[in-house]
Amino acid sequence: MSDTFETEWFAAYLRNSASPADAIALWRWGAEIDVRDILPAVHVPTLIMQTTGDGWVKREEGRYLATHIEGARYIEFAGRDHVIWGENSDRIVDEIQAFVTGALPAAPGERLLVSVLSLDMTGSPFGIDPAERHAEALRGELLAAEGREIRRSDGKVLAVFQRPTRSIQCAIAIRDRLRQSGVEVRSAVHIGECEQRGHQFSGAAIELSSRLLDHARPGEIIASRTVRDLVVGSGLRFEKRGEMAASGLPGAFPFYAVDGSA
């Protein structure tokens, strides 16, 4: 907090909240109790909110919790505040309300430029949905690549990223990791504008990513020309695989296979 009044108010709040001995005890409880071993035993809806630049709790710690608590919802805010009444207070309240009630407050849609990754997984034994069977591995790779899962069903996963390179790297990591368990993964990546309403995404970019997935072979990553042009210099290599007609776009829509060995 840079505001002098807020700083003085917070200092008074701390002085009046606990004695020095109680403050030390609270600090030790928060810093020394290790709950890592019991995280897999948590089977209730869990919301984890983390500030990227939090000076008290590193974002890696928040991501660790989200990766090891099954079904946990992880939200990361830009900023540095640790206190919940700081720079993201309104958004924190909205996210808590959405988590408890299942719906965000009514708000107009927001258009965002995102990289959309579509995944299709096959090969899981005994008819088990591979997306559910490997949910923790998928969640870990998405967190590492700063991706956000927005849909999952019948072996398919849809996720969005801020950068196209990260989405391709995530597709490579998921493909290579799940292949060790006998699961083949097909992937497609496109970048474009989507409309976000709460936690829901819609738009042509998502539809195009799903359409591209139809052209991917097992173990293959397909990317649109837009993605190829935006990741120049990344070290990734692309080979033209074909063209398709896309509603609302003039002419043919070329797509490419990504060399995932780069």
Cα–Cα distances (Å) from 55 to 5, 50, 124, 230, in that order, read 21, 11, 42, 33
pLDDT digits (tens, 9 = 90+) for 46-62: 999 999 888 888 889 89
Domains 4-101 and 110-259 agree in fold: no
Residue type for 66, please? A
Which CATH topology does 4-101 take?
Rossmann fold (3.40.50)
Helices (H), the chain: 4-17, 20-32, 59-68, 89-101, 130-133, 135-144, 164-179, 204-213, 225-230
pLDDT digits (tens, 9 = 90+) for 76-91: 888 888 877 777 788 8
Residue ranges covered by each domain of the chain: 4-101, 110-259
> Model-level pTM greater than 0.85?
no
Residues 166 and 173: their CA atoms lie apart, in Å, by 10
Q: Does domain 110-259 have CATH number 2.60.40.10?
A: no
pLDDT digits (tens, 9 = 90+) for 188-223: 999 998 888 777 888 888 989 999 999 999 999 999
Residues 220 and 206: their CA atoms lie apart, in Å, by 19
Q: Two tokens at 203?
A: 């738009």
